[in-house]
Amino acid sequence: MAQQALIDPQGEAGHQVAGRWTVLAVAVSSAARVELRRYELPSPNEMWELDDAPILSIVMPRAEGTQGEIMFDLGDRRRHKVGRLLLRPGGIAMHSRGDGGMLDILTCRFDPVRFAAATGLSDWDSHRLSCCASINSPMLMTLAERLKQETVAPEFGSDMAVEALVELLMVELARLFGRLRQRDAGQGGLAPWQLARIDEVLRATDGVWPTTQALANLCGISRSHLSRSFAATTGVALSDHAAAIRLERAQDMIRGGLLPMNRIAETLGFATASAFSAAFRRATGLTPRAFRQSFH
């Protein structure tokens, strides 16, 4: 399999990117190689990358957060804000700029032939590439978190679990971009700016959690239209997506260890710390305090 390499804007190969990271854990399936990598990058950081294989990257949260943007060397070369989930198609150079520092990233490097056969994804244009920069999928995030667990702490049957999870990741990517094609063909759905506005509000809310009606108002559509179109576009209900972001934000703040539980509860719109604790335990099987202790 070809090495991933840093390149300059003209495409000349430079030193290997592998010098920028430490591999903390590895899992291998018949369709992909999975690595948990710890990057130690200069601040700010800027680089070009190219690989002949598609790579799904899942950025692990850190207390200070992350900021970055990417540009694919194809089409209109627009810059896109990077999300927690990023897909880099094989054979397309990508320029990234970010705040650098220490960052843990789970990478799933797919075999190009298996990926194309399983997903049907091979022709990339500017519009589809823009969706690769920040993939909005609670299902993919859930699968990625489970894949990380099986990679970092393998148990009985982990080989089979990794094999199945990699296959499911490809299935979900195929479904996600299939829905995108349907939307582009005029079969309903939300525009990218509407999806981005919803996520922006859910991730920035401090206090009262936004209602479906409030989100619909931001998108300029009715409440029923929003609920129906969001499900058609993403494959998940808006309420489930909002709950997933709420839980993700809770986990990020707990991992950071800087805020008391009552402040986290208040930020995420819970009436009391006990209500937050009960909701968190239903979703994860752990109390917030037990979850925090697992990282120390």
Q: What is the pLDDT of residues 217-242, one digit of tens each?
A: 999 999 999 998 888 777 778 998 89
Q: Is the pLDDT confidence value at 285 over 60?
A: yes
pLDDT band for 2, please (50, 70, 90 cuts). very low
Please name which of 118, 122, 105 lies closest in space to residue 163, comparing C-alpha atoms.
118
Q: Is the pLDDT confidence value at 185 over 70?
A: no
Q: What is the mean pLDDT of residues 137-150?
A: 86
Specify the pLDDT at position 4: 45
Decide: helix, strand or coil at residue 167. helix
CB 97 within 8 A of CB 46: yes
Instruction: Please state, in angstroms and rounded to a whole number, the distance separating the CA atoms of residues 31 and 230.
Output: 31
Instruction: Please state, in angstroms and rounded to a whole number, the distance separating the CA atoms of residues 292 and 289.
Output: 5
Q: What is the mean pLDDT of residues 202-213?
A: 91
Instruction: Name the burial class of residue 209, with classes exposed (0-12), middle (13-18) and buried (19+) by CB atoms within 10 angstroms of its CB.
Output: middle
pLDDT digits (tens, 9 = 90+) for 34-92: 999 999 988 888 989 999 999 999 988 776 667 889 999 887 778 888 888 899 999 99
Domain ranges of the chain: 20-187, 192-294
Q: Name the percent of the chain lying above pLDDT 90.
A: 44
Specify the pLDDT at position 55: 97
Instruction: Please state, in angstroms and rounded to a whole number, the distance separating the CA atoms of residues 7 and 13.
Output: 5
Residue 182's Cβ-side half-sphere holds a number of Cα atoms within 13 Å equal to 16
pLDDT band for 295, please (50, 70, 90 cuts). low
Instruction: Give the fold, CATH level 3, of 20-187.
Output: Jelly Rolls (2.60.120)
Instruction: Quote the CATH superfamily of domain 192-294.
Output: Homeodomain-like (1.10.10.60)
